[in-house]
Amino acid sequence: MDGIHEDLNRIKDKPYTQSKDHDGRPDFIVAKEAWEIYLKRNSSVIVDLMFGQFKSIVDCPKCQFESIQFDPFLICTLPIVNDNLKKIEVTYLKDHFYTTPLTICYDQSWGWKMSNVYEEVKKKIGLDPNDELIGYVTSYSVGEPIDPTESVSYIEEEHKYRQIYIRKKLPE
């Protein structure tokens, strides 16, 4: 968009401009002045429709001088909400005394199984990829082992407000 703006810029001879300090003046006056200075060098349909201003404040810790600037921007990044992105809270049990709480993020549309969660736990904890893990859903007592082919979405729906514990599978 910046390239299109440059191609469409109505200002051909760009004068030298210098921003002024706020000197205690109200923000709306300083912002209007900064915008007018910017428009002396930049005028296009892109500026008309898509540009805005950020207010930035910089404080000097030594002299307590405060600089307030209004800077033009073309792009303001915003996060895109992904309704399919979910988090599952699990606790890895190393032994009876050492636990590690983890948050595993996954895309619900991928059809994640508990085996996928186990793989993520192995990566985050730094376990051997060949280690077998087993998970339990508990509320007040030890639960039954979770089948690795069980859907994570199903587990979350069926076992709300319960904790998922994961540990290495004991040798048989």
List domains and CATH numbers for the chain: 2-73 (no CATH), 85-168 (3.10.20.90)
pLDDT of residue 90: 85
Beta strand extents in the chain (DSSP E only): 52-59, 66-73, 85-93, 99-107, 133-138, 145-146, 163-168
Amino acid 29 reads: I
For residue 135, pLDDT beyond 80: yes
Q: 49: part of which helix (H) or strand (E)? A: helix 45-50
Q: What is the mean pLDDT of the chain?
A: 83
pLDDT tens, position by position, 36-89: 999 999 999 988 988 999 998 888 888 988 888 898 988 767 777 777 788 888
pLDDT of residue 142: 58
Average of pLDDT values for 83-110?
81
- In the numeric block, the tokens 């979350």 are attached to 156
What pTM was estimated for this model as a whole?
0.48
pLDDT of residue 97: 76
Amino acid 115 reads: S
